[in-house]
A and B are shown apart, each in its own frame.
Chain A
Amino acid sequence: MKRIKSGILVVVILVTGWMQASAQAGADTTAPASTVIRFACISTSDDSIQLKCIVSVKHESGSTNLANAPVTFYSVEKDGDLKIGTAKTDFHGTAVLKIPASNSYLRNEQQMLSLKAVYEGNSKFEASEGEFSLKPAKLVVSFYEEDSIRYVKVEATQLSGDGKDSPITEGTVFVSVPKMFSMLKIAEITLDSTGTGTAEFPNTIIGDSLGNLTVVASIEENDIFGTVQGSAANNWGLHKYLISPDRPTRELWTPIAPLWMVVTLIIMLLGVWGHYVYAVVQLVMINKSAKSPKRE
């Protein structure tokens, strides 16, 4: 009877183990995860176009950016896609490739380029792709001063493939200054018929220790031009001092400690070390009394 019971137990254990192993094996052969590509192009002031895409993996609780994924960029042409180049995504899942603004890739009647980003996928992740069309453009930022008032001027130009560049006659350009965590918007300029616009430059922007500032003008996510950016530097910012040299303060983050802290520390250290000195003096006196038998 005992043998039968032991046999049943062994069978149960083996069957359970086999079922678990099968379940584990099943888990190992799960379907590849689906991926998404977010593709955008940015025309920059150095006459180039930045092809930028973010590859992410979708899962139940949201999505995670995929690192080290090879992304191939193509120009969509009549005879099929023409490969431009390949870039791998970084730890943020972003792959970037730069091409010159004046290039020979096929344009449509509106002089727009049609571009494509493709992630081929592998056994773990599905393939995905994204498309983007844009007409290359350029923003030039300059500064001038008139009657002691400072101005920022932007000139927006659309670049046609045939060399006939023309101004962008309508649209809004945002002017901003890069700060530590985000872009600080300082002006919003509406372009006129000549593709230019101006705005007064504020005199309250903090620059570096020499007042240097980088000013960025941008047309954001336009249907025709995509994102267009241009930048220039000036020294119109307020000089940044970590600590005002003429007004030393006692805040926690300054080199001089708060007064209450200094006073507390001195009181505590004097109190403690005073007692130490007292104890050492007593030891010295004990030693002294041992050396002078007359006193005993």
Chain B
Amino acid sequence: MSDTVNSDKLLKEFAPQIERTGNFGKLWIAFLCLVICYGWFALYWQVSRGHIVTGMRDNVVWGVYIVNFIFFMGISYAGALISGTLHLFHSEWRKPIIRMAEFITIISLLIGPCFIMLCVGRLDRLPNLILFGRIQSPITWDVIAISTDIIGCILFLYLALLRDLGKMRDFTELKVPQWQKKMYKILALGYTGTPEQQLRLKRATDVMAGMVIAIAIIVYSVLAWIFSVTLQPGWHSTIFGPYFVIAAVYSGTGVLIVSMFVFRKVYHLEEHITLKHFVNVGVIMLVLGAFFGYFTFSEYLTKWYGSEKNDEQLIQVLLKNYFNLFILSNYVGVLVPLIVVGFRKLRTINNITIAAVVVVIALWINRYLIVVPTLETPYLPIQDERLAWQLYSATWVEWALTAAGVAMFCLLFTIGSKLIPIVQVSDLKEEPEQPGDLHLM
């Protein structure tokens, strides 16, 4: 009974966010729609004129699009790993932030693959991937892995939402349109929290929590293998799989902290999301940052020490042409979170958020440095010496579509928070204890 009272109290608190959109909210949504429209125009420009309007050429065939693809897929896996792990370990403090992690997972999983489509010159040939797909092709692995991951994550999010959907269906004071009420009713699947339903839901959620962790690792490794199975300098590396996974979770933790900060401010969640949550997620970020630094160092040290001609050439390019980005990505991006979270005195909400922003930017640049400089220093000498063909520089079309992707991420996050409370309202005590349950307080 007390659980129901507690949930109702929370629902009452969050009801205004779902029922109304303030002027600032409307302005924010309009701004995002404007950016997305700009992206649509850029897409029309690209489709009507071909890929010549991008900076991609015969030599550098991948650019900002693939960087965005890796980045969005990375933060989605981070969301899955964080929410799955916190669920499996029954961490009590996860409740206010786990919904955000789940939203990050689903939304970025929907946006990420769109960027890979933008790289494809002949979209009409896209069905051939399914019709004539070869299992030996890493692209086919990616298609299978990403589609499996999307379905698994949607299922996991749905299971995690079921209790809240039941609560919202039964909460009569909620003033939302009829269609929204009907939606809650259909999606709640008649869940009323009987012992049998609780047990079944827990079993399914536990299984899916384990699955999303495993799939996240596999899928991001597959993405890394697309690079590492090729014989390109800088890509052909055995540690690329774990390196990508760590980098993904690291950047995703940064996005989660930024989301926590934004929603805490906008929805006034100071009571629910406290310094403790920022420090806890910050510590996860610190550990991941240390691992990321270790992998990066290991990757470049072995290449530098080996002095293989093309690796040496690539490192020269990184340290000469991309010096500032290299330092920002691999030094600043690792040291800032280590210092901010490592020293107790520096652990404030603002500082941790700033460190998270640095991590997000640094990790985006990290992906850029993996993709572009390697393609600019190929094994085979190219036949045409024109600099424009050798070097890559993103055009306004690519930046517009990148901005549209980010805007779409923010818009879907905003819409999601308008349909479902951004903080889990059902009480965690509803999850029946099972022998062998792990706890991480």
Residues of A within 8 A of B (CB): 64, 91-92, 252-253, 255, 257-258, 261-262, 265, 268-269, 272-273, 275-276, 278-280, 282-283, 285-287, 289-291, 295-296
- In chain B between 189 and 212, which residues have their CB closer than 8 angstroms to a CB of chain A? 189-192, 194, 196-197, 200-201, 203-204, 207-208, 210-211
Q: In whole Å, how far is A192's beta carbon from the nearest beta carbon of chain B?
A: 43
Query: Could you say which residues of chain A place their CB within 8 Å of the CB of B151?
Result: 276
Residue of B nearest to A282 (CB): B204
- In chain B between 133 and 164, which residues have their CB closer than 8 angstroms to a CB of chain A? 134-136, 144, 148, 151-152, 155, 158-159, 162
Query: Could you say which residues of chain A place their CB within 8 Å of the CB of B159?
Result: 279, 283
Q: Given A286-B191, A289-B197, are A279 and B204 also a contact pair (CB < 8 Å)?
A: yes
Query: Could you say which residues of chain A place their CB within 8 Å of the CB of B174?
Result: none
User: Is A272's CB under 8 angstroms from B190's CB?
Assistant: no
User: Is A276's CB under 8 angstroms from B155's CB?
Assistant: yes
* A-B contact sample (16 more), CB < 8 A, given A255-B134, A257-B135, A272-B214: A91-B384, A252-B136, A261-B135, A261-B136, A272-B152, A275-B211, A278-B204, A280-B155, A283-B159, A283-B162, A286-B162, A286-B190, A286-B191, A289-B194, A290-B197, A295-B196
Question: Complex: how many Å from CA A291 to CA B188?
Answer: 12
Question: Complex: how many Å from CA A296 to CA B144?
Answer: 41
Query: Could you say which residues of chain A place their CB within 8 Å of the CB of B384?
Result: 91
Top 8 nearest A-B pairs by Cβ distance?
Answer: A290-B190, A282-B204, A257-B135, A279-B204, A287-B189, A282-B200, A275-B211, A286-B197
Query: Could you say which residues of chain B place their CB within 8 Å of the CB of A258?
Result: 136
Q: Given A275-B208, A278-B207, A279-B208, are A64 and B189 also a contact pair (CB < 8 Å)?
A: no
**Which of B135, B200, B210, B218 is the one whose CB lies under 8 Å from A286?**
B200
User: Is B211's CB under 8 angstroms from A64's CB?
Assistant: no
Query: Could you say which residues of chain A place their CB within 8 Å of the CB of B437?
Result: none
27 A-B pairs with CB atoms under 8 Å apart are: A92-B383, A252-B136, A253-B136, A255-B134, A257-B134, A261-B135, A262-B135, A272-B148, A272-B214, A272-B215, A273-B148, A275-B208, A276-B155, A278-B204, A279-B155, A279-B208, A282-B204, A283-B158, A283-B189, A286-B190, A286-B200, A287-B189, A287-B190, A289-B190, A289-B194, A289-B197, A290-B190
Q: In whole Å, how far is A267's beta carbon from the nearest beta carbon of chain B?
A: 12
Q: In whole Å, how far is B294's beta carbon from the nearest beta carbon of chain A?
A: 28
Q: Is the interface of B mostly helix, strand, loop or mixed?
A: helix
Question: Complex: how many Å from CA A91 to CA B385?
Answer: 9
Question: Complex: how many Å from CA A269 to CA B222?
Answer: 14
Question: Complex: how many Å from CA A289 to CA B384?
Answer: 69
**Which of A91, A272, A296 is the one whose CB lies under 8 Å from B194?**
A296
User: Could you give, for residues 336-370 of chain B, a 1 whenever the CB lies within 8 Å of some chain A CB and a 0 otherwise?
Assistant: 00000000000000000000000000000000000
Query: Could you say which residues of chain A place their CB within 8 Å of the CB of B383?
Result: 91-92
User: Is B385's CB under 8 angstroms from A289's CB?
Assistant: no
- Most central of A92, A268, A295 by chain B CB within 10 Å: A268
Q: In whole Å, how far is B415's beta carbon from the nearest beta carbon of chain A?
A: 24
Q: Given A257-B134, A257-B135, A273-B148, are A282 and B218 also a contact pair (CB < 8 Å)?
A: no
- In chain B between 384 and 400, which residues have their CB closer than 8 angstroms to a CB of chain A? 384-385
Q: Given A91-B383, A268-B218, are A285 and B200 also a contact pair (CB < 8 Å)?
A: yes
Q: Given A262-B135, A272-B152, A272-B215, are A289 and B204 also a contact pair (CB < 8 Å)?
A: no
Query: Could you say which residues of chain B place their CB within 8 Å of the CB of A92?
Result: 383
- In chain B between 263 and 312, which residues have their CB closer than 8 angstroms to a CB of chain A? none
Query: Could you say which residues of chain B place their CB within 8 Å of the CB of A268?
Result: 218
Residue of A nearest to B158 (CB): A283
- In chain B between 33 and 84, which residues have their CB closer than 8 angstroms to a CB of chain A? none
Question: Complex: how many Å from CA A265 to CA B138?
Answer: 12
Question: Complex: how many Å from CA A258 to CA B189?
Answer: 44
Q: Count B interface residues, CB 8 Å.
A: 32
Query: Could you say which residues of chain B place their CB within 8 Å of the CB of A273?
Result: 148
User: Is A64's CB under 8 angstroms from B191's CB?
Assistant: no
Q: In whole Å, how far is A149's beta carbon from the nearest beta carbon of chain B?
A: 41
Query: Could you say which residues of chain A place their CB within 8 Å of the CB of B134?
Result: 255, 257
Question: Complex: how many Å from CA A178 to CA B144?
Answer: 42
Q: In whole Å, how far is A250's beta carbon from the nearest beta carbon of chain B?
A: 10
Question: Complex: how many Å from CA A257 to CA B159?
Answer: 36
User: Is A290's CB under 8 angstroms from B189's CB?
Assistant: yes
Query: Could you say which residues of chain A place their CB within 8 Å of the CB of B189?
Result: 283, 286-287, 290
Question: Complex: how many Å from CA A291 to CA B135?
Answer: 43
**Which of A265, A282, A287, A296 is the one whose CB lies under 8 Å from B203?**
A282
Q: Given A91-B383, A286-B191, are A279 and B207 also a contact pair (CB < 8 Å)?
A: yes
Query: Could you say which residues of chain A place their CB within 8 Å of the CB of B155?
Result: 276, 279-280
Q: In whole Å, how far is B310's beta carbon from the nearest beta carbon of chain A?
A: 18
Query: Could you say which residues of chain A place their CB within 8 Å of the CB of B144?
Result: 265, 269
Q: In whole Å, how far is B203's beta carbon from the nearest beta carbon of chain A?
A: 6
Question: Complex: how many Å from CA A134 to CA B144?
Answer: 64
Question: Complex: how many Å from CA A278 to CA B151?
Answer: 14
Q: In whole Å, how far is B293's beta carbon from the nearest beta carbon of chain A?
A: 31
Q: In whole Å, how far is A120's beta carbon from the nearest beta carbon of chain B?
A: 23
Query: Could you say which residues of chain B place their CB within 8 Å of the CB of A275?
Result: 207-208, 210-211
User: Is B204's CB under 8 angstroms from A290's CB?
Assistant: no
Residue of B nearest to A257 (CB): B135
Query: Could you say which residues of chain B place their CB within 8 Å of the CB of A255?
Result: 134
Query: Could you say which residues of chain A place their CB within 8 Å of the CB of B135?
Result: 257, 261-262, 265
Question: Complex: how many Å from CA A227 to CA B134?
Answer: 48
**Which of B136, B148, B200, B207 is the one whose CB lies under 8 Å from A269?**
B148
**Which of B152, B210, B385 is the one whose CB lies under 8 Å from A276?**
B152
User: Is A282's CB under 8 angstroms from B152's CB?
Assistant: no
Question: Complex: how many Å from CA A262 to CA B155?
Answer: 26
Question: Complex: how many Å from CA A296 to CA B191?
Answer: 12
Query: Could you say which residues of chain A place their CB within 8 Å of the CB of B194?
Result: 289, 296
Query: Could you say which residues of chain A place their CB within 8 Å of the CB of B208?
Result: 275-276, 279
Query: Could you say which residues of chain A place their CB within 8 Å of the CB of B201?
Result: 282, 286
Question: Complex: how many Å from CA A290 to CA B148?
Answer: 29
Question: Complex: how many Å from CA A262 to CA B210?
Answer: 24
**Which of A64, A261, A278, A290 is the one whose CB lies under 8 Å from B192?**
A290
**Which of A91, A276, A280, A291 is the one whose CB lies under 8 Å from B190?**
A291
Q: In whole Å, how far is B181's beta carbon from the nearest beta carbon of chain A?
A: 17
Question: Complex: how many Å from CA A40 to CA B334?
Answer: 60
Question: Complex: how many Å from CA A279 to CA B202?
Answer: 10
Residue of A nearest to B384 (CB): A91
Q: In whole Å, how far is B337's beta carbon from the nearest beta carbon of chain A?
A: 33
